[in-house]
Amino acid sequence: MDAVERIEKDIVLFAKNIKEIESIEIHEKDVQVIEMARNYRKDTDYYLEKRII
């Protein structure tokens, strides 16, 4: 598995996990961590699209 395939697989897994998190009650302190993860995913999507790896 090359780097791009691994990143794409991780993005799919992240989307699955974030849906599970959204279905439960989240403590206030965890909201910031989840938001940081979402922002990291957006960055990952951008770099993957631009192939800046």
Predicted local confidence at residue 53, as pLDDT: 52
* C-beta separation of 13 from 41 below 8 A: no
Total domains, the chain:
1
Whole-model pTM over 0.85: no
Predicted local confidence at residue 21, as pLDDT: 87
DSSP 10-41: HHHHHHHHHHHHHTS---HHHHHHHHHHHHHH
Tens-place pLDDT, residues 3-53: 889 889 999 999 999 889 888 888 888 899 999 999 999 998 898 888 765
Picking from 2, 32, 38, the residue whose alpha carbon sits closest to that of residue 17 is: 38
Domain that holds residue 33: 3-50
3-state secondary structure of 9: helix
* C-beta separation of 48 from 11 below 8 A: yes
